[in-house]
Amino acid sequence: MSATDGLMRGMEVIDTEAPLSVPVGGATLGRIFNVLGEPVDNLGPVDTRTTSPIHRSAPAFIQLDTKLSIFETGIKVVDLLAPYRRGGKIGLFGGAGVGKTVLIMELINNIAKAHGGVSVFGGVGERTREGNDLYMEMKESGVINEQNIAESKVALVYGQMNEPPGARMRVGLTALTMAEYFRDVNEQDVLLFIDNIFRFVQAGSEVSALLGRMPSAVGYQPTLSTEMGTLQERITSTKEGSITSIQAVYVPADDLTDPAPATTFAHLDATTVLSRGLAAKGIYPAVDPLDSTSTMLQPRIVGEEHYETAQRVKQTLQRYKELQDIIAILGLDELSEEDRLTVARARKIERFLSQPFFVAEVFTGSPGKYVGLAETIRGFQLILSGELDGLPEQAFYLVVKEIILSTNSGQIGVLPNHAPIATAVDIGILRIRLNDQWLTMALMGGFARIGNNEITVLVNDAEKSSDIDPQEAQQTLEIAEANLKKAEGKRQIIEANLALRRARTRDTVFCHLLIPERFAGSCSLSRHDHKADRLWALPVLGTQTPAFYRGTLFDFDLVHIRIHSGPFPN
């Protein structure tokens, strides 16, 4: 279990008369251990009054929970397309820099918040630098609480690649033993991360060679299947709780038939594949929706609605993938109307699969979102049904946090959970806050209704700041000022004053566009004109999803904004 330097024949050996045992329970949270259960983080000793042996039998059949149930992660792409099984085993495939660590930390965070569970991370045979980076990132994101270690959500066990093969082979068992205590004694749902399961097999091969065993296929140990089964069969659901394992899988030379990954695949319930192409587009988490799979995605387990929605999403994305070569050569205009619609929806789906993470808030500045499964399904159904076809792709990226509206009694600010009101809208500016940027519109009077986290604004006319021609706005202002001077009679003066207010509002809105700190860049506002019809699309307040707008009334513009304080839609 440790270095053999200095050992020689004839040295005294002491039998402990006990199996290798490690500390378990709440004392392990926020700490780093080696394979022997010794803390290696220089934070002092650990309470060792409660220990457990690392070599144990798998739970008996009578103890197992045979009910198949989904383990909700709060991550849309995972829950919809490759759902995790409660007490199952998931393979995590991905190269360097595509977001494996961030995904792992988000899962650790979500399991603690949504399920009241904890996590155990087993670093098996990987680089010491990676283990240190993970530890520092966990402290930065709050997964490990430096001020109060007991409030941390994860325990870490490291057996890095500089350790002897015996330690690397058993570090996974040490991590599993700590997870089993949380499951069996504390009756919690536990996440067990193993990075990397291939190194466990590799260490077993080295130990086998040292013991003089005859090598098997491709030089692996003859006991490969037995060793893998001993570890994997202990990872399961019982009537007390569950251990759901996410295992990073390295595939040597990308050969899936290699005995090491092939033996691992036999135990996996789901695979989550991270795509470098999606990461290059800036879509995170970069989970490949077509390559990721799950045995749980069956109608009898997840239900007809979930299954049908997931299949339609995959079919749309698959068709888009098939059309990409044609688009690259001939262009989008050469596609049929049906294919163009499919491409538009697929691009919206790609962006809707993205999601801000809690643990990435310190890097992105965007608040994280936990999205329930029901809301995830509903969001994708809206895209697939065509209800959002009129919205641009960018609308699925922006986050609206606040709206400032001009009323007859002055300006009002609207945030999520605003009290229900109905009010007249004055000629003035509608300001929409997107994080630290502002989007402005000129409204020409009307009515607004606020309630149930939605705003419906019915206005005489509305113009986006970027649509206003500065020269035309200035000319209109000068004409309005001249007309006011020439106005005679009460009616003419009132009309001239209104025209002047409208002109000044348009001019002011354009000026907002010129102020850098209020410039929203390439905004997601779109308008569709059909004679008198005008359909405005604004992002949802408090989320990353566009609102839904229903038609028009007479010659008015209907601006409908949904405000969501909860997780949907993200």
Domain positions in the chain = 21-47+65-280, 306-387, 396-470+517-562
Which of 18-32, 222-236, 379-393 has the weakest average pLDDT? 379-393
Each residue's pLDDT tens digit, 485-517: 888 887 777 777 777 777 777 666 544 433 333
Each residue's pLDDT tens digit, 418-466: 778 888 888 877 777 655 556 677 777 777 777 655 667 776 677 766 6
Each residue's pLDDT tens digit, 180-206: 999 999 988 898 999 889 899 999 999
11 or 506: whose pLDDT is higher?
11
- Given 3-state DSSP classes, what are the helix, strand and coil percentages for the chain, each rounded to the nearest 5? 40, 25, 40
Distance CA 354, CA 396 (A): 9
Q: What is the pLDDT of residue 465?
A: 66
- Cα dihedral sign, 539-102-37-88: positive
- Among candidates 357, 349, 524, 509, which has minimal Cα distance to 434? 524
Distance CA 106, CA 29 (A): 17
Identical fold, 21-47+65-280 and 306-387: no
Q: Is the pLDDT of residue 98 over 50?
A: yes
Q: What is the pLDDT of residue 454?
A: 62
Each residue's pLDDT tens digit, 482-492: 888 888 887 77
- Over residues 28-32, the mean pLDDT reads 94
- Asked if 31 is an active-site residue, the reply is no
Q: What is the pLDDT of residue 555?
A: 30
Q: What is the pLDDT of residue 466?
A: 63
Q: What is the pLDDT of residue 416?
A: 65
Distance CA 354, CA 384 (A): 17
**Percent of the chain scoring above 70 in pLDDT:** 82
- Asked if 486 is an active-site residue, the reply is no
Span 396-470+517-562: which CATH code?
Answer: 2.60.15.10
Q: How confident is the model at residue 81 (pLDDT cuts 50, 70, 90)?
A: very high
- Among candidates 439, 430, 510, 504, which has minimal Cα distance to 469? 510
Distance CA 229, CA 212 (A): 22
- Over residues 160-169, the mean pLDDT reads 90
Q: What is the pLDDT of residue 451?
A: 67
The CATH class of 306-387 is: mainly alpha
Q: DSSP letter string over 108-169? A: HHHHHHHH--EEEEEEES--HHHHHHHHHHHHHHTSS-SS-GGG--EEEEEE-TTS-HHHHH
The mean pLDDT value of the chain amounts to 79
- Among candidates 397, 298, 285, which has minimal Cα distance to 348? 397
143 or 208: whose pLDDT is higher?
208
Q: What is the pLDDT of residue 310?
A: 95
Q: Is the pLDDT of residue 546 over 60?
A: no
Provide the CATH topology of domain 21-47+65-280: Rossmann fold (3.40.50)
Q: What is the pLDDT of residue 406?
A: 79
Distance CA 178, CA 52 (A): 8
Highest mean pLDDT among 91-95, 300-304, 427-431: 300-304
Q: What is the pLDDT of residue 395?
A: 58
Q: Which residue of the set 72, 126, 163, 180 is catalytic?
A: 126
For residue 288, report the phi and psi dihedrals to the nearest 5 degrees: -75, 115
Q: Is the pLDDT of residue 77 over 90?
A: yes
- Asked if 485 is an active-site residue, the reply is no
Each residue's pLDDT tens digit, 325-374: 888 888 888 888 888 899 989 988 988 888 888 888 777 767 788 888 98
Q: Is the pLDDT of residue 96 over 60?
A: yes
Q: How confident is the model at residue 142 (pLDDT cuts 50, 70, 90)?
A: confident
Q: What is the pLDDT of residue 68?
A: 87
Q: What is the pLDDT of residue 452?
A: 59
Q: How confident is the model at residue 559 (pLDDT cuts 50, 70, 90)?
A: very low
Q: How confident is the model at residue 534 (pLDDT cuts 50, 70, 90)?
A: very low
Q: What is the pLDDT of residue 169?
A: 93
Q: Which residue of the set 127, 239, 281, 321 is catalytic?
A: 127
pTM over 0.85: no
Q: Using N-to-C axis directions, what is the helix angle for 165-184 and 224-232, rounded to 10°? A: 30
Q: Which residue of the set 76, 85, 89, 100 is catalytic?
A: 100
